[in-house]
Structure 1
Amino acid sequence: MAVSLRIELFPAELERAVAFYTGGLGFTVEKDDRATGTPYVAVRRDGVRIGLLGSPGTVGDRLPPFGVEIVLEVDDIVAERERIVAAGIPLLDDLQRRVWGLIDFRLLDPDGYFLRFTERANAHD
């Protein structure tokens, strides 16, 4: 049985979040319901889909949780870092080889969601 993952985020400013994920991180808009009573945009990059809900209702129920890290695996970690830095996105933690053997870097999205870009586990095979 196949499984997939879709993440739903609840940004304070929908337009800012869409610009960040599409302009800075290379996602494309897959679904755009900004003109509805419940503004929503889904962005996709390869096998990753992130839904951005513009009016989440009770904000207190949907604040960014502590201890969550969204991990995006890429084929070329150095090229990914260069593209993100060139887009003007500040890094929280620059390229490092971790004790578990992979190289990664970290950043925050405009609403404080913690993103880690890492090389694929089989990148050196």
Structure 2
Amino acid sequence: MHGFTLLQRKGEYAYLGRDSIFIGAIEVPSSETIEEKARYRQPDKGVEIVIEVDDLEKERDFIVSKSWKLAADIHSQPWGLRDFRLVDPDGYYLRFTTHSPRKDGKGLSET
């Protein structure tokens, strides 16, 4: 997925990374059928995955180079961040965004 590498896997938990982007995910067992689960993979179900990145243009260019269509190209938002959006092949709504500032005014990626 987007050039990420599996860094760690423990049971149902997976930790992925690429450059300075890291994602943790856990699979939750369910008795629902594939068809029932598919209902949750629609953009109108209220699920939005937000991924903060260091270089928004680089991420957008990488995704577009893989022939994925954007739902919205890079745009400045009223809350002060820039982002772009897409629906992945499984139907998940993804928002790639610049880093949110911390309360001390520094970006989250800064230590």
TM-score normalised by structure 2 residue count = 0.66
CA contact (8 A) 1:93 1:105 kept: yes
Q: Could you say if the C-alpha distance between residues 61 and 85 of structure 1 is closer, same or farther in structure 2, counting changes exceeding 3 Å?
A: closer
Alpha-carbon RMSD across the aligned residues, in angstroms, is: 3.1
| Residues 1:102 and 2:76 aligned together | no
Q: Distance in 1 between matches of 2:46 and 2:69?
A: 20
User: What secondary structure sits across from 1:115 in the alignment?
Assistant: strand
Structure 1: 4+ residue segments shifted above 3 A:
40-43, 50-53
Partner of 1:27: 4
Q: Could you say if the C-alpha distance between residues 57 and 28 of structure 1 is closer, same or farther in structure 2, counting changes exceeding 3 Å?
A: farther
Q: Could you say if the C-alpha distance between residues 82 and 63 of structure 1 is closer, same or farther in structure 2, counting changes exceeding 3 Å?
A: same
Q: Displacement of 1:43 after TM fit?
A: 5.9
Q: Distance in 2 between matches of 1:41 and 1:63?
A: 23
After TM superposition, list the pairs within 5 Å mapping 1:20-99 onto structure 2. Answer: 21=1, 25-30=2-7, 31=9, 42=14, 44-45=16-17, 46-51=21-26, 57-59=31-33, 60=36, 63-64=39-40, 66-99=45-78
Q: Could you say if the C-alpha distance between residues 27 and 51 of structure 1 is closer, same or farther in structure 2, counting changes exceeding 3 Å?
A: farther
What do the CA deviations read for 1:83-106 (whole angstroms, capped 9, x no partner)? 111111111111100011111000
User: What secondary structure sits across from 1:92 in the alignment?
Assistant: strand
